[in-house]
Amino acid sequence: MRELAVGGSLSVVEVGARDGLQNEKELVTTADKVALIVRLIEAGARRLEVASFVNPARVPQMADGEAVIAALPDRADVSYIGLCLNKRGVLRALATREGGRRGVDEAGCVLVASDTFGQRNQGQTIAEGLAANREMLRLAREGGLVPQVTISAAFGCPFEGPVPPARVAALAAEMAEAGAEEIALADTIGVGVPGQVVDLVSLVREAAPGVRLRAHFHNTRGTGIANAWAAWQAGIRVLDSSLGGLGGCPFAPRATGNIATEDLVYAFERSGIATGFSLEALIAANHWFETRIGRALPSAVGRAGDFRATGAETGAGAA
Ligand code: ZN
């Protein structure tokens, strides 16, 4: 049994199979996506992004979403998230459950906190995004999916620069009122810093009391794990991460992507916070997936390994 020095536990949403793969240029086969998800579940993942219901012409990597979902293990202790950018996405998410099939469990909706980013990415202003998400959340709930929403570009916009925290808080309040069961604050382009995380979380909590908050960080500028820790200190208990740090940043082509699940699990478990993951299994999954995509993944712990596994700590070979 693990001794918990700090107490409490962190819930991790594994986004590798969706956010992580979405920026991969080479198509990953459906079989490899399913095998990746199965390995992540075996390593301890209980909530996973598994597909994005986007236009397959725009995002060919996500074109096999329905096929991936149909092949997933039907486990009662696992929640599958389908990303929905519009009403059509929610309808596709609902359709995965037709005919008594397992399908996805959660509709992960997305609201962009910047007019310019929203228009370029989804052809929507913030106001249009709000209206669309209200309907999407309602449809998801009525269809039996957990309605949740990610506020993207919450820490900065690649076109407009800083995003006013008061705006993000107001959007969160609107989404809570529209029935979101969870609201994620996403640093989509990886510009946030720990002090900003603390401030934004406190503003959002004031504006939308009672709704569960989640945070999504990218390690684009090396602040990912520090931001995750700041979020924990600010009371966030659900964080997104991807195996190996899979997932790039379309606005910083040479940069790494999401914070790595291995790095997050290492930092939190060694701080006495349970995550439910086996770090050994994650590292093994990382090394397996490297053989599938033919390159090393950016995760630091994936490369360096677990400290506990070294002779120095176990005493093996120590003088
Ligand atoms: Zn991401």
Going from the Cα of 257 to the center of ligand 1, the distance in angstroms, rounded, reads 7
Asked about 249 being catalytic, the answer comes back as yes
Q: Label the pairing between strands 238-241 and 106-112.
A: unpaired
Going from the Cα of 104 to the center of ligand 1, the distance in angstroms, rounded, reads 20
One-letter identity of residue 87 = K
The active-site residue, picked from 84, 109, 157, 249, is 249
Radius of gyration for the chain, computed over Cα atoms and rounded to the nearest angstrom = 19
C-alpha to C-alpha distance for 146 and 168, rounded to whole angstroms? 22
C-alpha to C-alpha distance for 245 and 262, rounded to whole angstroms? 8
pLDDT of residue 319: 56
pLDDT above 70: percentage of residues in the chain: 94
One-letter identity of residue 199 = D
More confident call, 93 vs 250 = 93
Return the exposure string of 140-149: e unless at least 16 CB atoms fall within 10 Å of the residue's CB, then b.
bbeeebbbbb
For residue 214, the enclosing domain spans: 11-304
- With respect to residue 311, please indicate whether it lies within any of the assigned structural domains: no
Going from the Cα of 259 to the center of ligand 1, the distance in angstroms, rounded, reads 8
Residues in CB range of 67: below 8 A, 6 or more apart: 30
- With respect to residue 22, please indicate whether it lies within any of the assigned structural domains: yes
Going from the Cα of 226 to the center of ligand 1, the distance in angstroms, rounded, reads 16
pLDDT class for 256, splitting at 50, 70, 90?
confident
Q: Which CATH number does the domain housing residue 173 bear?
A: 3.20.20.70
* Partner residues linked to 274 by β-bridges: 9
Return the exposure string of 7-35: e unless at least 16 CB atoms fall within 10 Å of the residue's CB, then b.
eeebebbbbbbbbbbbbeeeebebebbbb
pLDDT of 5 strictly over 70: no
pLDDT above 90: percentage of residues in the chain: 89
pLDDT of 166 strictly over 70: yes
Containing H/E element for 23?
A: none
Total domains in the fold of the chain: 1
- With respect to residue 78, please indicate whether it lies within any of the assigned structural domains: yes
pLDDT of residue 122: 87
pLDDT of 2 strictly over 50: no
- With respect to residue 319, please indicate whether it lies within any of the assigned structural domains: no
Q: Label the pairing between strands 182-186 and 212-216.
A: parallel
- With respect to residue 252, please indicate whether it lies within any of the assigned structural domains: yes
- What pTM, to 2 d.p., does this model score? 0.94
Angle in degrees, 0-180, between the axes of helices 261-269 and 224-233, rounded to the nearest 10: 50
- With respect to residue 314, please indicate whether it lies within any of the assigned structural domains: no
- With respect to residue 317, please indicate whether it lies within any of the assigned structural domains: no
Please provide residue 45's backbone torsions phi and psi, each rounded to the nearest 5 degrees. -65, 135
Going from the Cα of 218 to the center of ligand 1, the distance in angstroms, rounded, reads 6
Residue found by looking up tokens 């793969």 in the block: 21
- With respect to residue 213, please indicate whether it lies within any of the assigned structural domains: yes
Q: Which of 240, 243, 221 has the alpha carbon at shortest distance from 231?
A: 240
pLDDT of 310 strictly over 70: no
Residues 181-217 have pLDDT tens digits of: 999 999 999 999 999 999 999 999 999 999 999 999 9
